[in-house]
Structures are given as C-alpha cells and as structure tokens.
Amino acid sequence: MRVAKLPDDRYPAISDLAKKAKKRIPHFAWEYLDSATGGETAMHRNAKALSDITMVPRTMKGIIEPSIETEMFGIKYSAPFGIPPIGYTSLMWPYAEQIFAKAASEHRIPHCLSTVASDTPENCGKISGDYGWFQLYPPRKQEIRTDIIKRAKDSGYHTLVMTADVPWPSMRERQRRAGISIPPKITPKIFAQICMRPEWALRTLFRGQPNFDVMKKYVPQGDLKKIVSFVGSELGGCLDWDYFKKVRDQWDGPVVLKGVLSTDDAKLAVKAGADGVWVSNHGGRQFEASPAPISVLPDIKKAVGTKAKIMLDSGVRSGGDILRAKALGADFVFLGRPFVYGVAALGAKGGNHVYELLYHDMINNMHQLGITSLDEMKNVELKF
Ligand SMILES: Cc1cc2nc3c(=O)[nH]c(=O)nc-3n(C[C@H](O)[C@H](O)[C@H](O)COP(=O)(O)O)c2cc1C
C-alpha cells in the first residue's frame, strides 16, 4: 500500500497551514484574511453543513486507481478544484497572486485573478497560461469595463467570472476591530504587529506596499488613498441582468456568475447566457444570514441541469469536502482562504503544498468509497 507523499509532513491539513500562517503574518493581515461578517455564523455554518454530510464507504473493490482529472469549458484540469479570486492578496504574502498563477499552470488547475488584486492581469496571465480565469467586479463606467475585459483577454485569460454577491460593502466587524484600513494606517499598534513579523515586513518592503494594481491605470498620478476611494465609488452597486448580458456579449469565452444562492437567480443566469453558475456566499464575508452554499446546491443543480456548469465554494477545507460537493452536483469546487493560508504559511511553496494535500486527500477518500472516477460520486450513498 502506498502512503500519500506530501511535500512537508508538518502540515498535513489546511488547519495546520492556518496555524502557521497566523504566526507568520501581522495580526491585521490575518484578520483581513480569516474574518467574515457579523457574528461570523455564516462562515461557521458553511463548514458545519459540509462536515454534517457523511458518505457511506464501500468495500471489496480489489485494486482501484482513482482518477480526478476533470474537463471543463474545453480545458482538461488535473483536479476538480481551483483558486478563486482573492482581493489584495499580496497583503497576506508579497507576490501571492504570482505564486497562485504558477501553482495553477504547474498543476493544471484554475487561478482566478480578482479585479481588486494587488497584481495585474498582464503580469499574472502569462504565468497562469491556459489556466487563468479573470474575475470582474462591475465598473460603472462602460469604458473602464471594456478596457478591463480587453486587458484580461489580451493577457490570455480563458474564463470570465462576474461576481454578483457584493451589491454593497458588508460590515466586516472583526476587520474594523483590528483597525484595518487600506492603505494601512501605521498606528503604534499596527507598527508593533509588523515588527513582530520580520520576514513578512522585509519582503513587503522589497516588493512595495500592495495596491489595487488592476485599477491603478484608471487613476493616473493617484496615490493609494485616491485609488482606494476611486475603487469604492467605481466598482459595484450597478449590476443587473442587462449589465450581465452586456458583459456576456463582450467576452468570447465562457462566462460564469459568482455568488448565486437562489434557484431563481441560477435559472435567470442561464437565461442571460451564463456558461457557469458559481454557488457561493463569499466565504460568509457578505451576508451573515445566507445559507451554506452546499445546502442549496442540490436545488440549484436540479434547476440548472446540464444547461450550465456548477461551481461551489465557501467552507471547503479537504478532499472529502470536495467529494461531498461533487456528490451533490458541483462540477468544480474552489477554496479561498485555504490557498492563502498555504502561501502565508509557506511562501512560494504554499500553492503547491495545498494542491498536493487536497489531491492526495481526494484519492484517499475515493479508495474508501471504492470508486475510480468522479462520475461515480452521484451513486455514493449520503447520510445527513
Ligand atoms: C481575503 C479574501 C478576499 C476575497 N476577495 C474576493 C474578490 O476580490 N472577489 C471575489 O469574487 N471573491 C473574493 N473573495 C471570496 C472568494 O473568492 C471565495 O468565494 C471564498 O473565499 C470562499 O470561501 P472560503 O474562503 O471558505 O473557501 C475573497 C475571500 C477572501 C477570504
């Protein structure tokens, strides 16, 4: 019997990477990454709803060789999971976006660059190659939208993701308590936090303060403060189905709507031309009362059928969770904080480590379930 070989046995689970990340980055960066909104019950509900689903193992299957290769939108991915958009990622670890893009192309999984990333599509697109997706928050000005879409296309991005679940900024109480602001205000408290994380501080000093690099272009001669205020007034608050259809018409590749939890919205997305519906509550960061995406997945799958691909994120923390989502109808699964924990904990090796950990965990779980292909997940007996 072959035991899974991980790059570093000190971190066999996502929770080990989270613990290490917390010790390696300043408290304010940790709070930005790890927090949700309100009392954070949505974030906890996401994880609980997944772990409450049990899968009945099957035995006596002899020698099996599970495969998790997954084809989507004409691309063969090595696994059915990827890295979703994360804004301002270089706050957690300098050059995190490029580390993700590299892990994506090396392992053949998607990396979705955010509109509010701290790196550009021009830099990251050539690293992620065929595996790059680009996420759009809706700019109000048509010329900015058109330019961002063109830049993403010219940089080689394959799939466009439109995020729908940020109609308004959420409260993010824990971030406020931590004194987080962009640009960071260097109060004595924040300065002390930075001094306690010398490697992060030095690397950040060499890279330079993270900025909204995609948006910088639209605020010529603007300092970070002006860019932040521009981003706040320009992005969001304007998305409707007409807007979505315009974006659909501007992109000659797959378009996915992210942040869908309602069956009606899923049906409308398909009607408006979406190739994919991404079931997500933004990791519990937007609306505390929202249901766990896994709990609405079966109804959305029933409503959408095979008319569009279905993606899911929020609370996924293991290969077992990815299989739970597959069993309930997801074509593809994304993990936000886990990939960032990996990079904050292990730097350039983090993306690779999270990939290996999830890959082996999926294969291990498939042996327990006695299945060789992900298609067989629909036959696995579930107990709630
Ligand atoms: C720090 C952070 C920043 C995020 N930034 C974005 C973003 O810019 N655009 C977006 O569509 N989603 C963003 N998300 C949401 C993720 O894409 C994803 O939906 C979420 O992290 C999934 O939940 P999980 O962290 O429990 O896996 C962000 C999430 C985190 C944790």
205 — pLDDT class (breaks 50, 70, 90): very high
Annotation marks residue 27 as catalytic: no
- Counting from 1 in the atom list of ligand 1, the atom nearest the Cα of 46 is 26
**Calculated CA dihedral for residues 121, 126, 127, 129, nearest 10 degrees:** 110
User: 255-269, pLDDT tens digit by residue?
Assistant: 999 999 999 999 999
pLDDT of res. 219: 92
Q: For residue 203, give both structure tokens.
A: 């690397």
Ligand 1 neighbours (beta carbon < 6 A): 32-33, 46, 84-87, 114, 116, 135, 163, 258, 280, 282-283, 285, 313-316, 335-337
Say if residue 379's pLDDT is above 90: yes
When mean pLDDT is compared across 212-216, 222-226, 235-239, 360-364, the lowest value belongs to: 222-226
In a domain, 1, yes or no: no
> What is the pLDDT at residue 20?
98
For residues 94 and 88, give the distance between their C-alpha atoms in angstroms, rounded to a whole number.
10
pLDDT for residue 242 = 98
In a domain, 332, yes or no: yes
Q: Phi-psi category of 145—alpha, beta or left, where left has phi over 0 and alpha has psi -120 to 50? A: alpha
| The pLDDT value given to residue 212 | 95
Specify the pLDDT at position 183.
81
- Position 223 scores a pLDDT of 86
Q: Whose CA is nearest to atom 4 of ligand 1?
A: 86
Q: To the nearest whole percent, how much of the chain has pLDDT over 70?
A: 100
Q: Please calculate the CA angle 260-263-268 and round it to the nearest 5 degrees.
A: 75
pLDDT in tens, 288-333: 999 999 999 999 999 999 999 999 999 999 999 999 999 999 999 9
CA separation for the pair 348, 342 (Å, rounded)? 9
CA distance 157 to 149: 10
- Does 6 map to a domain? no
Q: Domain for residue 2, yes or no?
A: no
Torsion of CA 296, 302, 306, 309, to 10 degrees: 0
Average pLDDT in the 166-176 region?
A: 95
Percentage of the chain beyond pLDDT 90 is 95
Q: How far is the CA of 281 from the centre of ligand 1 (A)?
A: 9
* Tens of pLDDT, residues 71-118: 999 999 999 999 999 999 999 999 999 999 999 999 999 999 999 999
- Whether residue 366 is contained in a domain is answered as yes
Q: What's the chain's length in residues?
A: 384
The pLDDT of residue 374 is above 90? yes
Residue 222: per-residue pLDDT = 79
Of 20-34, 167-181, 296-310, 358-372, minimum mean pLDDT range? 167-181
**Which residue's CA lies nearest to atom 21 of ligand 1?**
336
- Domain range for 298 is 14-383
For every residue of 81-120, DSSP letters joined together read EEB---TTGGGTSTTHHHHHHHHHHHHT--EEE-TT-SS-
Q: Is residue 1's pLDDT more than 80?
A: no
Residue 106 contacts residue 79 (beta carbons within 8 Å): no
Closest CA to 64 of 1, 158, 143: 1
Closest atom of ligand 1 relative to the 163 alpha carbon = 11
Ligand 1 atom 2: residue of nearest CA: 86
Lateral strand order in the sheet of 255-260: 81-82, 332-334, 309-312, 276-279, 255-260, 159-163, 132-136, 111-113
Task: List the catalytic residue out of 27, 107, 111, 282.
Answer: 282
Vertex 129: Cα angle to 126 and 135 (nearest 5): 85
Is 249 within the bounds of a domain?
Answer: yes
Say how many Å lie between the CA of residue 132 and the centre of ligand 1. Answer: 16
Please state, in angstroms and rounded to a whole number, the distance separating the CA atoms of residues 322 and 212.
31
The domain spanning residue 335 has which CATH number?
A: 3.20.20.70
Question: What is the average pLDDT value for the chain, to the nearest integer?
Answer: 97
Confidence of residue 3 (pLDDT cuts 50, 70, 90): confident
Tens digit of each residue's pLDDT (9 = 90 or more) over 291-301: 999 999 999 99
In ligand 1, which atom is closest to the CA atom of 114? Answer: 8
Ligand 1 centroid – CA 317 distance (Å): 14
Closest Cα to atom 8, ligand 1: which residue? 87
Instruction: Tell me if 5 is assigned to some domain.
Output: no
Tokens of 253: 């590749």
Atom of ligand 1 nearest to the CA of 313: 22
Q: Using the structure block, give the residue that is written with the tokens 């993270």.
A: 210
Average pLDDT over residues 46-69: 97
- Residue 118 contacts residue 210 (beta carbons within 8 Å): yes
The pLDDT of residue 155 is 98
The secondary structure of the chain in percent helix, strand, coil, rounded to multiples of 5, reads 50, 10, 40
- Is residue 4, in this structure, part of any structural domain at all? no
Q: Give me the number of domains the chain comprises.
A: 1
Which bin fits 259, alpha (ψ -120 to 50), beta or left (φ > 0)? left
- Which pLDDT does position 295 carry in this prediction? 98
Rama region for 263: left / alpha / beta (φ>0; ψ in -120 to 50; rest): alpha
